[in-house]
């Protein structure tokens, strides 16, 4: 899998990041999420330095991540798997309506 450069922007700062085509959508979602978190912190007016805003955003996101894990179970992964199973069931059941 070849990695391609992707131009992104976080809080008005342009960056180029490399990723595979398969990772591109996830990367762009992550960029959007991080940009939003950093703007929330900046707009709260408590911090001016981009570096401090980035550190606070990283701490907030890490806290969110750690709270999605419970007793060694990654709740986020469980939710993704349930969603995938629901989608598969919907696809199978939609075919059943044609039989009736």
The domain spans of the chain are 4-67, 74-100
Extract the tokens encoding 60.
């907030």
Per-residue pLDDT of 15-53, as tens digits, reads 999 999 999 999 999 999 999 999 999 999 877 789 889
Q: Which of 12, 37, 17 is nearest to 27 (CA)?
A: 17
Per-residue pLDDT of 80-99, as tens digits, reads 888 888 888 888 877 665 55
CATH number for the domain formed by residue range(s) 4-67: 3.30.160.880
The dihedral of CA 46, 48, 53, 55: what is its sign? negative
Cα separation, 6 vs 28, whole angstroms: 9
- Number of Cβ atoms within 10 Å of the Cβ of 72: 5
Q: Is the pLDDT of residue 73 over 80?
A: no
- Number of Cβ atoms within 10 Å of the Cβ of 57: 22
More confidently predicted of 83 and 58? 58
């Amino acid at each position: 899998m070849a990695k391609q450069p992707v131009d992104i922007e976080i809080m008005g700062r342009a960056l180029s990041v490399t990723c595979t085509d398969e990772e591109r959508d996830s990367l762009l979602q992550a960029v959007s999420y991080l940009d939003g978190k950093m703007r929330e912190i900046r707009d709260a007016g408590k911090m001016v330095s981009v570096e401090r805003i980035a550190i606070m955003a990283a701490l907030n996101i890490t806290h969110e991540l750690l709270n999605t894990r419970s007793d060694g179970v990654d709740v986020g992964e469980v939710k993704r798997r349930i969603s995938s199973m629901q989608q598969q069931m919907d696809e199978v059941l939609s075919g059943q309506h044609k039989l009736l």
